[in-house]
Chain A
Amino acid sequence: MRRWTWGILMLAVGVPVTAAWAVKKDEKLYVKARNTRVLKSAVPTADVVAVLQPGQQVTWKGADPKNAQWHQVTEPGGKPGYVFQTNLSTRPPDMELVAKDGKTRSIDPAAFVSSGAAVKALSPGAEKYGKEKGGGYADAVAQIKKLEGLALKVTPVEIDAHVKQAGLFPVVAPDTKLGPQAKKAVK
């Protein structure tokens, strides 16, 4: 297929090919990851002001002068707070699975949290196809189903614990209540 054709297709579905930055104060930014926490101050253990989902927008106010990895924003409800740098994006994520009209650009952040369970993983046709081919393919069907079970158990709770242990950035977060954060031991 000719490349320009795909270029048009990619533009049509809004797939970001490269990152674009250059944000100005009071411009809107998108939240990237599930359960993004807006915190009262620029430290990861601060009180939670709001919890946002991918595709929701915040108003950017600037980087914290003391810690440039935290950025001051105003959440959709108007409350000020801080979000970790890499949780913010100038481009919206693709949210085709949760679009109410079946199109790719209609974002419904509220539906996002439950969207993972809405789509069956190994498709029924593929399962039948693999079983009909038999031999190693039928074995592969059973193995992938088992693997999917293991993968589903890796939730944002497990990811958050691993991230803390490895010293990575706090982007993906577990379900979080507003107010003070519970202090849990890192596994």
Chain B
Amino acid sequence: MRSRMGMLVAAGLGLSLTSCTQVAKGLRAANLGEDANRVAAAAEKVQSCDKLKVEPAIQEEYALGSALAIHWAQQGGGLMLSGAPEEKLNTYVNTVGRNLAMQSPRPELRWTFGVLKDAKRFNALSAPAGYVFVTHGLLQGVENEAQLAGVLAHEIAHVVLKHALHQYVSVKVSTCKGAAVTGAVVSTVASKVVGASRADGRLDLDSDTGLMGKMVEGTVDAFGKGHRKDEELAADALAVELLLSAGYDPREFSRLLERTSGGGGFWENHPKKEERQERIAGLLQARRENADPLARVDVASLQRPALPASFTATVGPGKKPTGVAKDAK
């Protein structure tokens, strides 16, 4: 008994040292009995879960993005859509945002930009499939259109680079592995996720609201600390490209960052604002001095348009931002 348990423990340790496939094959070959076969079966299922690490299909992205957008709207106190002035505000934000998005590497998404009622937080959020939200509080801290464009471009970049989808895929894999380790696929959700790991790795979220709820809420939880530092920096870099493409001055985005409190605490994953500003300045400098005529930027041609009078009238008086000028999620 002792030696059999010892071998199983050794096999268990082996799970972290070698591939699951090798462990499973070894255990089965050793013919150690039912316990070993269960460990082997679990190892095979865990291995199979890695097949979920594929880019979700576009329909899956739309389903996830739609449900996340519902969450962000609910958590932001709803959307500012009461009356003509607030509708006009959303139309303006969509004009600025869609101009940028149509110049992005994913111009074909149904890009939708909205203003959340939340006036306390200085925040912007995005969801797969092209949903971007800014809080009322953020708009109160914006001084010109180039600053607004900077925030929107950063969120567009998160969608283009599929950062939230990566979180979602991690949730799929962990759900699958959880079912594999516990040894039983007791729920419909776990059954569907494990089933997907044996097929093409994709889930039909639209067909099952229970499945959608589990996956979406898992993704919301996974977003607790925001995106990773490298993802934030990549989003800044693409945002600068979008701003330059449209003719906005990226230094205004940097100025907006200057007025925020920076990372740390709950925002520990976010890079420091000084690092972000340094990189933005470096990217602009590189484009300014680029010898290639296709890449070279004439900084004098870049704009920082004034906000329309209707914007200020609807948003209210400006105030100093008190949070981080980036994604809460």
- Interfacial residues, chain A to chain B (CB-CB below 8 A): 1, 3, 5-6, 9-10, 12-13, 15-19, 21-23, 29, 32-34, 54, 60, 62-63, 68-69, 71, 85-88, 90-91, 93-98, 112, 115-116, 119-130, 132-133, 135-137, 139-141, 143-144, 146-148, 150-154, 156, 158-159, 162-163, 166-169, 171-172
**B207 with A125: CB separation less than 8 A:** yes
6 contacting pairs across A/B (C-beta < 8 A):
A98-B108, A126-B67, A140-B78, A147-B79, A159-B102, A168-B99
Interface residue range, chain B: 35 or more
A21 to B104, CA, bound (A): 16
Given contacts A5-B53, A115-B108, A151-B112, contact A168 B166 (CB under 8 A): no
- Interfacial residues, chain B to chain A (CB-CB below 8 A): 53-55, 58-59, 62-63, 66-67, 69-71, 73-74, 78-79, 81, 87, 90-91, 94-96, 98-99, 102-114, 131, 145, 160-162, 166, 169-170, 173, 205-209, 212-213, 216, 230, 234, 237-238, 241, 244-248, 290, 292-296, 298, 301, 303, 305
Given contacts A126-B66, A143-B73, contact A97 B95 (CB under 8 A): no
Contacts of A3 in B (CB 8 A): 230
A1 to B114, CA, bound (A): 31
Given contacts A125-B212, A136-B74, A144-B114, contact A1 B166 (CB under 8 A): yes
Contacts of B234 in A (CB 8 A): 17
A91 to B241, CA, bound (A): 13
**B209 with A154: CB separation less than 8 A:** no
Q: Given A93, A151, A163, which contacts B113 in the complex, CB threshold below 8 Å?
A: A151
Contacts of B95 in A (CB 8 A): 154, 158-159, 162
Residue of B73, B301, B303 with most partner-chain A CB within 10 A: B73
**B247 with A159: CB separation less than 8 A:** no
**A21 with B108: CB separation less than 8 A:** no
**A144 with B70: CB separation less than 8 A:** yes
**A171 with B245: CB separation less than 8 A:** yes
**A167 with B247: CB separation less than 8 A:** yes
Q: Given A34, A124, A153, which contacts B107 in the complex, CB threshold below 8 Å?
A: A34
A52 to B301, CA, bound (A): 25
3 interchain residue pairs of minimum CB distance: A125-B206, A126-B66, A169-B247
**A88 with B94: CB separation less than 8 A:** no
**A19 with B145: CB separation less than 8 A:** no
Residue of A60, A93, A128, A158 with most partner-chain B CB within 10 A: A93
Given contacts A129-B213, A162-B99, contact A97 B108 (CB under 8 A): yes
- The chain A residue with its CB closest to the CB of B110 is A121
Given contacts A18-B237, A150-B94, A166-B145, contact A139 B209 (CB under 8 A): no
Given contacts A115-B108, A130-B70, A136-B78, contact A163 B91 (CB under 8 A): no
**B169 with A33: CB separation less than 8 A:** no
Contacts of B69 in A (CB 8 A): 122, 126, 140, 144
- The chain A residue with its CB closest to the CB of B131 is A144
Known: A63-B294, A123-B66, A126-B63. 9 other contacts (CB 8 A): A21-B295, A86-B247, A122-B69, A129-B209, A137-B74, A162-B95, A162-B96, A168-B246, A169-B246
A168 to B98, CA, bound (A): 14
Contacts of B66 in A (CB 8 A): 121-123, 125-127, 144
Contacts of B216 in A (CB 8 A): 129
Contacts of B67 in A (CB 8 A): 123, 125-126, 129-130
**A148 with B110: CB separation less than 8 A:** yes
- Minimum CB–CB distance from A139 to chain B (whole Å) comes to 6
